[in-house]
Chain A
Amino acid sequence: MALVPQYILILFVVILVDYFSAIKIENSSGKLRKTYLVLSLISNISILCFFKYFNFFNQNISEVFSFIGINFEPYNLDIILPIGLSFHTFQSMSYTIEVYRGNQKAEKHLGYFSNYVLFFPQMVAGPIERYSTLGSELRTEHKPIYENFANGFRLILFGLFIKMVVADNIAPLVNSVYDSPQDYSSQNILISIFLFSFQIYADFFGYSTIAIGAASMLGVKIINNFNSPYLSKNIGEFWQRWHISLGTWFRDYLYIPLGGNKVGLPRWVINTLIVFLISGLWHGASWTFVMWGFLHGLMLVFERFIMLYVKVSKNFIIRILLTLKTFFVVSLIWVFFRAENFEKAKLIFHSLLYNGTNSNKELNYGCIFFFVFLLILSDVFFRKSRIDVWLSDKNIAFRWSVYSLLIFCMMALSGVENYPFIYFQF
């Protein structure tokens, strides 16, 4: 993952292909219409596959050959994944699909369409916006309004707090455990598995909040990508609250075209697993990501079977237990996301089960649990209303007390290593 200046050209290719495809789709009918869509999709997916999956596929082909006794030296391309490629190709694809479906008029102005793909606050790691929302926002004239600046500032400040204070303080602890799990006790490993759940959430949620804040300063509204995901009571609900823009993308452009809920149970199981496998692969060119997606799909299927036979009580305690259960399951599945390979994931689980109280190293948690507590608290508190909205009707003394606290934490208590946003690598 890198920002290589020449790679900007890839973005221009994506923009030009989809811009002209959409106009052609709109102006054609019958099979030609579909041909233009397919051409557009193939171009986008080819770019994605070339930069993201070429070496991965080659390596796997080589392993298959070697399994059947044929020696095949894989040719590895010395290329770096352009930053944010998965996000802007998906965003651009959603536009041509919507034009094909007749839900969206093709944009005739290349400038507006380019701005949609290149809109800087969310270009690198989403949220993956639709043209129907972001496009019209970008077409509207936005005058500088103080409230927009203020809301944007609040969101950026909160996003920086989440990223720099919560995620970046957790990162070194999780890294130490994942580097040598054999050196830590089972208890420390379990805690760091849980901590990674908060790290990746704080990292990605922080980025999304900053992106929404930056857009808000310009008067542009972009969608919320998270809605307190760890308060979900089951995996299905988790996916309605986690990385919402990606979840809805897969729902609209893969799950529903495959048949959605309107198919028989066996077909539904297969469709669900396909969607989650591809979602896993979207995250990274590694079997661990595929496994991560597969396990989420499997858990979703499993939960649906359970729901056929068990009626869940609405009792508050039961709801809390279900929330904890979901968090526990999601955290364990995150191990595959975080581990560099299956051996490492296996080592983590092995150490978790068998290390017991033996440990060569200790972890210094410092104020981490307090920061995690603040993150959970903010999730509970801002479930129905965002921090910027919540703060806007408070008096100035209260608002500035909150700002001061956030600024203090961000400037004085943030992590001291420079960790790039995790989702930048996708």
Chain B
Amino acid sequence: MKFVFRTILVKLTLLILVIVSLNVIYSYTFFNIDLQDYSPMGSQIIEHKGSDIYYFGESSNATFAFNDSTKESISELISHNFPNFKLASIDTGAVHAGAYKYWLNMIDLKHKPKLIIVTMNLRSFGAGWINSKLETSIQKSTVLMRKYPNILNRFALSLGFFDNKSEKERFDDMINSWKKIELNSMRNLKHKTVLEWDSVMGNGGWLLENGNWDIKKMELGCHYIKAYAFNINESNLRLKDFDEILEWGKINGVKIIFSIMPENIEYADSCVGEALVDIMRQNRDFLVKRYTLTGAFVVDNLELVEGRNYIDQNWTSEHYNQVGRIAVAKHISNVMRDQMY
């Protein structure tokens, strides 16, 4: 018996050595191909090796209005203000800090980047985003960028070892949050939960003078409620992601700027009312206070862009026309200037 266990122990040690060697082989052979196929953002970051500034963003950095005279993204506009620095723009649609924190692992620290700008999208703190059906593919795209040996990450990808919930599970979680989590507002909010508020809005939110319902406004109002009616508190999952980003910056001596992205406050007000705007502002204040105290630089752009400068007039989004993008780029650049020079 003793012999059997000793032999097994020796073979297990040998197995570990084999896996270590295979990890080296994998890293030099198939890893980059896999990165391109399954984690293209990781590949992008490697391509931008040696950059001084990294801009991590979502679709706000890749959308333009049809009639914009300049099609430059926020990060491109920022880069004009810092011609002596190499800025890498890493962005993709519908992404959030839960992915950004893994993107950081792909940055080559030998080249000593100076600053990382990370977009802080208010909607990404809400149950709608946290439990979005896109979350599984977002999580999947980060597996190869995790801090484990490359071959183990690849194996984890095959085995589905990541937050790999089904669409139905995520939908149920989302509905549960909307149903159960009670809302807090400075005003005396009549509706306790998102679903309650949504139901009241959907069943008589906007009655026109002629006696007809303003269906368009009602639908948009419901959407605003689902997107922004939540209170960020210490138990919010997304905070942990931003905390990890900040921690990474501290450990590696890289400055981090969190950029709270503009949201269409005007439309939130006109479609739903001040109660929702209050909640949005409360959340913004919470984030600014929390991260300023922990040593991050927070750029508050929440109310920077006027309602008419949003590309999507019938939906919630962080897609701005050139006026909006220029304003955001300018605001971020102002904060950056103190950090870069």
Contact: A408 with B164, CB < 8 Å?
no
The interface bits of chain B over 144-178 (1 if a CB of A lies within 8 angstroms of the residue's CB, else 0) are 00000001101101111000100000000000000
Contact of A418 among B18, B19, B159 (CB under 8 A): B159
Q: Which chain B residues lie closer than 8 Å to A400 at the CB level?
A: 14, 18
A408-B18 Cα distance, complex, nearest whole Å = 9
What is the minimal beta-carbon distance from B180 to any residue of chain A, in angstroms? 25
Q: B270 at interface (Cβ–Cβ under 8 A)?
A: no
CB proximity to B under 8 Å, residues A126-180: 143-146, 149-150, 164, 168
**Shortest distance in angstroms between A142's beta carbon and chain B's nearest beta carbon?**
13
Q: Which residue of A lies closest to B30 (CB)?
A: A412
Q: Which residues of B contact A150 (CB under 8 A)?
A: 11
- Pick 10 A–B contacts, CB within 8 A, sort by A: A145-B4, A400-B14, A407-B19, A410-B155, A411-B22, A412-B22, A412-B151, A412-B155, A418-B160, A418-B164
Closest 10 CB pairs of A and B: A418-B160, A414-B158, A411-B155, A412-B26, A146-B4, A408-B22, A411-B151, A404-B18, A416-B157, A146-B7
Interface assignment of B340: CB less than 8 Å from any CB of chain A: no
CB of A407 within 8 A of CB of B4, answer no
Q: Which of under 10, 10 to 19, 20 to 34, or 35 or more describes the interface residues of A?
A: 20 to 34
Question: What CA separation (Å) do A413 and B38 show in the bound complex?
Answer: 13
Residue of A nearest to B159 (CB): A418
B3 touches A (CB below 8 Å): yes
Q: Does B1 belong to the interface (CB within 8 Å)? A: yes
A contacts, CB < 8 Å to B: 143-146, 149-150, 164, 168, 400, 403-404, 407-408, 410-416, 418
CA distance A403 to B3 in the complex (A): 22
Chain A residues near B3 (CB, 8 Å)? 146
In the complex with contacts A146-B3, A400-B14, A413-B159 CB distance below 8 A: no
State how many angstroms separate the Cβ of A141 from the closest Cβ of chain B: 14
A403 to B21, CA, bound (A): 13
Taking CB atoms, residues of chain A closer than 8 Å to B19 are 407, 411
Residue pair A412, B4 in contact (C-beta under 8 Å): no
Assuming the A-B contacts A144-B1, A145-B4, are A416 and B22 also in contact, with contact meaning beta carbons closer than 8 angstroms in the complex? no
Instruction: Tell me the residues in window 48-90 of chain B with beta carbons closer than 8 Å to chain A beta carbons.
Output: none
Interface string of B1-41 (1 = CB under 8 A from A): 10110011001001100110110011000100000001000
Q: Nearest residue in B to A401 (C-beta to C-beta)?
A: B18
Contacts of A403 in B (CB 8 A): 15, 18
Q: Tell me which residues across on chain B come within 8 A of A410, comparing CB atoms.
A: 155
Q: Give min CB distance, A84 to chain B, whole Å.
A: 21
Q: Is the CB of A149 within 8 A of B8?
A: yes
Residues in B neighbouring A144, C-beta threshold 8 A: 1, 4
Given A146-B4, A407-B18, A415-B158, 14 more contacts at CB 8 Å? A143-B1, A146-B8, A149-B4, A150-B11, A168-B158, A403-B15, A408-B22, A411-B151, A411-B152, A412-B30, A412-B151, A412-B154, A412-B155, A416-B158
Question: CA separation between A413 and B155, bound complex, in Å?
Answer: 9
Total A-B residue contacts, Cβ distance less than 8 Å: 53
* Set of chain B residues within 8 Å of A412, measured between Cβ atoms: 22, 26, 30, 151, 154-155
Interface size class of B (residues with CB under 8 A): 20 to 34
Given contacts A400-B14, A418-B164, contact A411 B154 (CB under 8 A): yes
| Minimum C-beta distance from B103 to chain A (A) | 19
**Pair B158/A404 contact, Cβ less than 8 Å:** no
Which of A404, A407, A413, A415 makes the CB contact (< 8 A) with B30? A413
| CB nearest to B4 among chain A residues | A146
**Quick one: closest A residue to B37, CB to CB?**
A416
A169 (CB) vs chain B CBs: closest residue = B158
Q: Which residues of B contact A146 (CB under 8 A)?
A: 3-4, 7-8
Are A416 and B38 touching (Cβ within 8 A)?
yes
Verify A164–B4 contact, CB threshold 8 A. Answer: no
Please, which residues of chain A bring their CB within 8 A of the CB of B21? 404
B25 contacts across to A, CB distance below 8 A:
408
Which residues on the A side are within 8 Å of B8 (C-beta)? 146, 149
Expressed in whole angstroms, the Cα–Cα distance for A274 and B14 within the complex equals 54
Bound complex: CA A408 to CA B26 (Å): 8
Q: Chain B: which residue is nearest A418 at the CB level?
A: B160
Residues in A with CB closer than 8 Å to B159 are 418
Contacts of A418 in B (CB 8 A): 159-160, 164
Q: A122 vs B203: C-alpha distance in the bound complex, in angstroms?
A: 56
Would you give the shortest CB distance from B17 to chain A, in whole angstroms? 10
Which B residues are CB-close (under 8 A) to A143?
Answer: 1
Residues of A within 8 A of B11 (CB): 150
Q: CA of A146 to CA of B25 in the docked complex: distance in angstroms?
A: 30
Distance, CA A146 to CA B22, complexed state (A): 26
Chain A's closest residue to B152 (CB) is A411
- Bound together, the chains give a CA A141 to CA B264 distance in angstroms of 73
A418 to chain B, nearest CB (A): 4
Nearest CB in chain B to that of A144: its residue: B4
Distance of A28 from chain B, by nearest CB (Å): 46
Most-contacted residue by chain B among A145, A408, A413 (CB, 10 A): A408
Q: Is B18 in contact with A411, judged by CB distance below 8 angstroms? A: no
Least Cβ–Cβ distance between A164 and chain B, in angstroms: 6
| Contact assessment for A404 and B22 in the assembled complex, using a CB-CB cutoff below 8 Å | yes
Among B158, B159, B164: residue with most chain A CB under 10 A: B158
Please indicate the chain B residues that have their CB under 8 angstroms from the CB of A404 in the complex: 18, 21-22
Cα distance A411–B21 when bound, in Å? 13
Q: Which residues of A contact B14 (CB under 8 A)?
A: 400
Shortest C-beta distance, B333 to chain A (Å), equals 40
Give, as a whole number of angstroms, the nearest-CB distance from A25 to chain B. 42
Contact A164 B26 (CB under 8 A): no
Give A416's nearest chain B residue, CB to CB.
B157
Report A210 CB to chain B, min CB distance, Å.
14
Chain B residues closer than 8 Å to A407, beta-carbon distance: 15, 18-19, 22
A168 to B152, CA, bound (A): 18
Report the minimum CB–CB distance from B226 to chain A (whole Å).
29
Nearest residue, chain B, Cβ from A165: B158
Instruction: For residue B144, give the distance in angstroms from its CB to the closest CB of chain A.
Output: 10
Which residues of B from 101 to 155 have beta carbons under 8 Å from A?
140, 151-152, 154-155
For A149, list chain B residues within 8 Å (CB).
4, 8
In the complex, A168 Cα to B26 Cα: how many Å?
A: 19
Residues on B with C-beta less than 8 A from A411 are 19, 22, 26, 151-152, 154-155, 158
> Which residue of A is nearest B27, CB measured?
A412
**A414–B158 Cα gap in the complex (Å)?**
6
Residues of chain A within 8 A (CB-CB) of B151 are 411-412
- Complex Cα spacing A412 to B25, Å: 10
Q: How far is the CA of A145 from the CA of B4 in the complex (A)?
A: 7
Q: Which B residue's beta carbon lies closest to that of A414?
A: B158
**Contact residues in A for B158 (Cβ distance below 8 Å):** 164, 168, 411, 414-416
Q: How far in angstroms is the closest Cβ of chain A from B27?
A: 10
